[in-house]
Amino acid sequence: MIVAIIALQVVGLYLLLDFLTGVVHFWMDRYGKEDMPLVGKAIIEINTWHHENPRRMTTRSYWYLCKSGWVGVGAMLTGVYLITGAVSWQWWFIGILGANANIVHQWAHKFPNEKPALINWLQKIGIIQRPHDHAQHHTKPETRSYCTYTPWLNPMLDRIGFWFGIERFFATFGIYTTDRID
Ligand SMILES: [Zn+2]
Ligand SMILES: [Zn+2]
C-alpha cells in the first residue's frame, strides 16, 4: 500500500513539475521583457535568443542553462525550510529535477547522435519530452506546448486552450501579452 502511495505521488509530482515548467516558460514567452530588473538579462533575454535560434541551445554549457534554475530552486528549498523547519523528499524531488529542466529541454533540441543512448531511450518511452513533441512549441505562432519536461500535458492543455484562457483572464485585469515572440 505504502509503495502504491509513493508511486502515485511520484507520478503526480512529476506531472506537476512538467506543468510548472510550462507556467515559467509561458510567463517568459508571453509576459517577460528583456528590461525587467533581475530576471530580464538572466532569463528573459536568453529565452528570446532561444526562440530566434533554437539549435544554438545545444552548444550551451550546463551552467549556462541551469544556473537560474538552481538559484530559483535554492530559494524555494530555503524558503520551505525556514517556514516548515524541514524539507521533505517531495520538495527535493521537484527541486532537483526542476533545476535540471533546461537540460531536458536541451535534449529535446539535440539529434539522437548528440546525446547518450539512455536519454534517447527515456525520450522514446515518453518519460521525458521528445524532439518532435517540443517542435510543436517552436512552430509558428509559437503559442502552444509550453511544458518542456514530458510529452503528456501539452496535448491536453493545448486541446482545451488552457494558455489562451489564462491570457484572456489576465487581459480582463489589463495585463496583456508582450507579443515579442511570434
Ligand atoms: Zn518558448
Ligand atoms: Zn526549445
Q: How far is the CA of 30 from the centre of ligand 2 (A)?
A: 15
Task: Tell me the whole-structure pTM to 2 decimals.
Answer: 0.93
For residues 120, 121, 127, 128, the Cα torsion angle rounded to the nearest 10 degrees is 0
Count how many domains the chain has: 1
The list of the chain residues with pLDDT below 50 reads none
Q: How far is the CA of 40 from the centre of ligand 1 (A)?
A: 15
Q: How far is the CA of 105 from the centre of ligand 2 (A)?
A: 6
In a domain, 179, yes or no: no
Q: How far is the CA of 56 from the centre of ligand 1 (A)?
A: 14
In a domain, 180, yes or no: no
According to the model, what pLDDT value does residue 63 have? 94
How does pLDDT run across 122-150, given as a tens digit for each residue? 999 999 999 999 999 999 999 999 999 99
In a domain, 65, yes or no: yes
- Ligand lying nearest the CA atom of residue 148: 2
- Ligand lying nearest the CA atom of residue 25: 1
By the CB criterion, residues less than 5 angstroms from ion ligand 1 are 29
According to the model, what pLDDT value does residue 38 have? 87
CA distance 75 to 65: 18
Q: How far is the CA of 2 from the centre of ligand 1 (A)?
A: 39
Q: What is the CA radius of gyration of the chain?
A: 17
In a domain, 176, yes or no: no
CA distance 75 to 72: 5
In terms of residue numbers, what domain contains 120?
Answer: 2-146+158-171
**Which are the contacts of 53, defined by CB distance < 8 A and separation ≥ 6?**
none
CA-to-CA separations, 60 to 18, 110, 119, 145, in angstroms, rounded: 22, 12, 18, 22
